[in-house]
Every structure is written in C-alpha cells, then in structure tokens.
A and B are shown apart, each in its own frame.
Chain A
Amino acid sequence: MQVTDRATGPFDPPTAFAVPGRIAVSNRAAAVWQRAVLTEVRRETPTVSTFRFAVPGWQGHLAGQHLMLRLTAADGYTAQRHYSLASPPDDSGHIELTLAHAEGGEVSGHLHTVARVGDAVEVRGPLSGFFAWPGDRPALLLGAGSGVVPLMSMVRHHRSHRLAVPLRLFVSARTREDLIYAGAYGEETTPVLTREGERRRLAPDHLAPCFGVGAPAWEAYVCGSNAFAEHASRMLVDLGQPVERIRIERFG
C-alpha cells in the first residue's frame, strides 16, 4: 500500500469509507432525555418481544437509526443501553423497539419480566446517521438474530411509501420459531435457517443472484453479532461489493 508523501497535502486513505453519515443528526434532540410510556408489548419469538412506546416529543428518525434507553432505580442507579428503532420513521409520536431477552441481562431482563403497559422509561435519540437508510439507494440488507431490527424498519419504510428503489433482505435465525417478524416478511425477504430446513449459514450462493449482470448498485447494511458481521461483510466483499458501500452495525 502506498502512503502519500506530500509534506502537507491531504492524506488519502486507501478506501473512502469515512463519507459523512446519510443524514445530519440533530444534536440538540439527541442530547435530551425524553419520557417514553409503554403502550403495548407484542411477542415475536419465545425470547424476543416488541415494545411500543408513546414518545410525544419524538422528532422522527430515519430507518436504521438507534436510540439510548435508560432505566433508573429508586436509589438513583441508572442502566443505559442502545436499541435500534424497529418502527418506520413516520409512526408519529410512537416508536417500537424489539428486544431479545439476554440471559441475566439487566435492561432487557427488566423490560421482559417487570415492565408493564403504562410504565415510563427514558430515551434519547435518534442517534448516528451512519447506518440510516433514507430510501434513496438500492438496499441489500443482511441481518441475524435481533440484528434484523433496524433492517425491518427499512423494510417497513420501503413498504409504507411504496418505494420503487430495489430492496432485498436476508435474515438468518436458528429455527423458524426464533425468526423475528416471521409473519411480516414478503417477497423481498429470504430467511436462512441454521438449525432446521436448509441447516446452514448465509452463504455466497444465497447472495449471488443479487450480483448478476445488470444488478443494482447496492448500499449494503449488515447487522447482528460481531461474528455474523465479520462473516457477512467478508462475503459481500468477495462478491464484489465495494467496502465503502458496506455499513455495519454490531450489537457488541
């Protein structure tokens, strides 16, 4: 690799990944904690539920963005975690989060076992314009487990606005029972089950049809565990997807 040797000229990174985010984030809005009242809980799988909140001051978001959620104990102790927004941008005054119940998890455990309709939590956001999808470019979405959450927001946005721009979703889960939003997918989605049916991980041949002659110039969004993100992003690079058009959200 060649590093530029101009004394004060601009440094040129080998890739142009650091393009600005898809949107400018409203800093003032992101800095404010807002009260979010739980209005509905929907079960998605035995260990995953969707939590719907009324947030009257919510100023909107783009599909793919996340927020910070904060719980506060009576003694002032707080726990805060990031969660992707599952709802589409225009669900005015309401947002939805989809949480996997992590074993021994402090925040997901509270929401799954203690919280009930009418309770209030605090949220701030939306955060990060980088993983956002405004609906402008063809979108190739790869998710595993709860990594499908921000991608579902994109699918919902695509549907509700009847966007003509191509969108494809590949979602990996262990079994059909573990597949979040299983009943909500349409022709845009290919579920890949690792412990039943096909019994294998997302593989190049699943994605190859998206990279044929005349295929759209995809903006790729990858979301899930770090292991999935590494696997899926390497596969995309091998299929010819430019690295600067792969956006990754790792849940840790």
Chain B
Amino acid sequence: MTGPQATRGFVGRPRVHDPGLPPGQYDARDDWPVLSAEVTPALSTGDWTFRVDGLVAEPRTWTWDEAQALPASAYEGDIHCVTTWSKFGMRFGGVSLDVFLDAVRPDPSATHVVAYSYTGYTTNLPLADVTGGRAWVAFRHEDAPLPSEHGGPARLLVPHLYFWKSAKWLTGLRLLDHDEPGFWEQNGYHARGNPWEEQRYAGD
C-alpha cells in the first residue's frame, strides 16, 4: 500500500500545525508515559558507576561523585517516543557525552556505540549521533533527581532520536567499529530511529 488511505468519518482532534511535531507524533502535554519492558531497578547513586570502553585509548569508569564533579550542561527541548507521543520543553541536567569521550580518547576506527543499562538493556547508536553536543548522561529532570521509573539515577539522553535510544539506568558505553543491534533493534526496531524520518521499525 502506498500513501495513507482516508478513514471514513475520521476527523481527528482539532489541531494547529505544529512544526515542532515530527510526522505521526502527538503532543502528550502533561503526561510523561513510562515505557520499559523490564522491572525498574532500585539503584542508589552510591551503587552507580559509568564505564566507557571498547575502541578507546584509555577505558575508564566514573563513580557518581566523580561524574557529578564534571562540567555540567543542560538540555532544554523536545523528546519524541516511538509509541507516538512527544513532549515539548523538557529540561534535563547532566554531563555532555563529549566530556566522557574526550577523557577516554576514542580510536579513529570507532564508528558506533552500544549503550548498556544496569538491567542488561542495550541500544546502538552511530558515534556521530552522540558527539558534538547532541547527547548527555542525564541526572536531573526539572531541577530534581531523575525518577527511577524514568531511568534514575542516570540515563542516556539523545533527544534528536526516538527516546528508546536514551537508555535508562545507563552504566556503560562501548565503542565499536561496526553497528551492533541493541535490545529493541533486535526486536524489529530501526537501527537509527530519526523521528523526522519516521524511522520506527526496521525497513522504514
């Protein structure tokens, strides 16, 4: 089937075209749905560590306190979930991934990363999507600690891609010279997940 086929009698909700809304998305407004397939881990900041390894000159593990001491930066903007809701004007605080990556000195052969969660959840990203000020390790939401059901104490934040790429309960990043599908990608989701191109499922 080619383009969408009109549904008899469907008018949809009254709407103004919002240029900030990618195709197929709707504004969740005050709602922040929780979508994770696993049990929410009870993880204290004292237990949390973050490791960056793989194709790097110097693999490294940061403790919570060490990560908090790094230069902080914030993201203020929108997020888009593949289950079709978007949320405008979110505020997250954390540390740019550039800071962590600079410290480990990526090998020139590195092209992709796999993000690891404490639960074993993984997701893959092109290195270019998590460098240049486009990705963070987020510790805070709206000036409060990130709630555990949203990935606290720390989640990856890659707001320009669908939100399943922003792995909750982040604990590691591995640099690779090839793309390696993560959890949802092995379950049929798109390798990159650009909301503006509606890259929802493999084959989109």
List residues of chain A with CB under 8 Å of any chain B CB: 1, 3, 5, 7-8, 11, 13-21, 25-28, 30-35, 68, 70-74, 76-82, 106, 110, 114-115, 119-122, 124, 127-131, 226, 229-230, 233-234, 236-237, 243-244, 246-250, 252
Contacts and interface: CB of A to CB of B under 8 A. Distances in A.
14 contacts: A18-B121, A71-B10, A72-B4, A77-B12, A115-B9, A120-B5, A128-B187, A226-B33, A226-B149, A229-B34, A230-B149, A243-B119, A246-B39, A247-B38
A73 B59 contact: no
A17 B26 contact: no
Contacts of A73: 6-7, 10-12
A17 B4 contact: no
B187 A13 contact: no
Contacts of A124: 201
B54 interface: yes
B117 interface: yes
Nearest to A77: B12
A122 B8 contact: no
Nearest to A119: B8
Given A11-B174, A15-B119, A18-B120, A252 B1 contact: no
A114 B10 contact: yes
Contacts of B83: 82, 252
Contacts of B172: 3, 11
Given A73-B7, A80-B24, A106 B38 contact: no
A119 to B, nearest CB: 5
A202 to B, nearest CB: 16
B120 A17 contact: yes
Interface stretch (B45-53, B88-96, B135-143): B45-53
Given A14-B120, A243-B38, A252-B83, 13 more contacts: A7-B59, A13-B119, A15-B41, A15-B118, A72-B7, A82-B84, A114-B10, A130-B37, A229-B34, A233-B39, A247-B38, A248-B36, A252-B85
B40 interface: yes
Contacts of A31: 201-204
B35 interface: yes
Nearest to B25: A80
Contacts of A230: 40, 149
Nearest to A109: B13
B118 A106 contact: no
A106 B187 CA distance: 28
Q: Which 7 A-B pairs have the closest CB atoms?
A: A31-B203, A25-B188, A17-B120, A27-B202, A252-B33, A18-B120, A13-B120
A78 B24 contact: yes
Contacts of B10: 71-73, 79, 110, 114
B183 interface: yes
Contact of B33 (A20, A233, A250): A250
Interface in B69-112: 83-85
Contacts of A35: 1, 5
Given A72-B6, A244-B120, A17 B38 contact: yes
